[in-house]
Amino acid sequence: MTNPVLDRYGPRCENCVLVVAPIAVPCARSAPRDAVDQPRGLAGVSRARAPWLVSRVALLAVVLGLPVGTLAQSGSPGGWLIPDWNKAPVTDATRKAAPRRSLTGMWGPAAGPGAGTQASGVQLKPNNGRPENQLPYTPYGLELYRSHKALEGADAVLPAQDNDPRNRCEPLGMPRYNHYNVRLTQIFQDEYKVVILYHYDNRWRVIWTDGRQLPKVVDGGVEIAGEILEPRYFGYSVGRWVDDFTFEVQTVGTMPEDRVWLDSTGRPVSDQVRVTERFQRVDYDTLVWSETIEDPKVYTKPWETLRLPMRLHDPRTDIQEYYCSPLEQENYNKLFGNTAGGK
């Protein structure tokens, strides 16, 4: 019995072997953008640089020649549910009203996991060299972009030249967490705050809703009650309900430009950025997550980076761990990239 997935990607594998204990199967060096999972390092590597990793259940479906969704819909033995990326679209007949002032739930890109990958740059402005996707850099911003050596995008370099902080397992920072392999994202809330748990690195982020004011951005961090506090990877976020179904978030006080990037193609972002997000609960099953950045140090005007429809998932779904491991990153570089020789 032939399998279109292995037939298509297996021949490109050469000597590469993907190990998903306790089974090993051939894999492709370069996964498709809509692959089920695209971690980096041997436990998490970029789409363009690493073996295609799949879950055991997805692997079983491949071996049996079944659609991945066949097993996803029924869950795995023992009640451990895996993400169901094949849910039927919401229609007028199935649409349910959204709850008032609630974002709580487990959300994933409505178009599937590939929609949140953003390997070619932020969703609305991929770094593909097209004129309509050129960014409004300041002279300093353009200089900064040219100093970044990324493995993705129109100006991608060889691994030996790469200087992406992510490839040293540094935290992505804000807003890059919104632009790096967005998969299942858990949102919790209470009367004081909204908390977002990102799949990548299992990082959580707090957005305060108790009426506190956004801090003032100053050199070296932010000013709160006359005291200068240091910048943070996720910055300082406050949110408010614009109406019963639209939640707006403002974030400032992020890390400086020598510590974080905007996306995987090396676009820059500075510690002067203000990130504005909107979460619009369209109906019970649909949430639209949008983002605009304003960074006068790097860009001449604000611009929109993200407008990602998200679909509600079963709250019992088990999420695989997805970490950047320095040891596994080192092993990946030894296996797939000669950092000294530029290969």
pLDDT for 76 equals 56
SS3 track for 229-296: ECCECCCEEEEEEEECCEEEEEEECECCCCCCCCCCCCCCCCCCCEEEEEEEEEECCEEEEEEEEECC
Q: Is the pLDDT of residue 40 over 90?
A: no
* pLDDT at position 87: 87
8 Å CB contact between 340 and 318:
no
pLDDT of residue 223: 96
Distance CA 244, CA 190 (A): 15
Query: Rounded mean pLDDT of 40-68?
Result: 38
Is the per-residue pLDDT at 298 higher than 80? Answer: yes
pLDDT digits (tens, 9 = 90+) for 199-228: 999 899 999 999 999 999 999 899 999 999
Residue 7: per-residue pLDDT = 35
Q: What is the pLDDT of residue 80?
A: 87
pLDDT of res. 221 = 94
**Angle, alpha carbons 36-38-43 (nearest 5°):** 125
> Which of 251, 256, 291, 261 is closest to 271 using CA atoms?
256
Taking only the tens place, the pLDDT of each residue in 83-114 is 999 988 899 999 999 999 999 999 999 999 89
- Residue 11's pLDDT is 33
Across the chain, what does the average pLDDT equal?
Answer: 81
Give percent of the chain above pLDDT 90.
65
Report the pLDDT value the prediction gives residue 51, as an integer from 0 to 100: 35
286-296 pLDDT, tens per residue? 999 999 999 99
pLDDT of residue 337: 63
Q: Which of 16, 20, 80, 26 is nearest to 55 (CA)?
A: 20
Specify the pLDDT at position 300.
98
Selected residue with higher pLDDT from 229 and 11: 229
Q: How far apart are CA 246 and CA 281, in angstroms?
A: 6
Count the neighbouring beta carbons within 10 Å of the beta carbon of residue 73.
Answer: 14
Indicate whether 244 pLDDT > 90.
yes
pTM of the model: 0.77
Instruction: Work out the pLDDT band at 333, boundaries 50, 70, 90.
Output: confident
Type of residue numbered 5: V
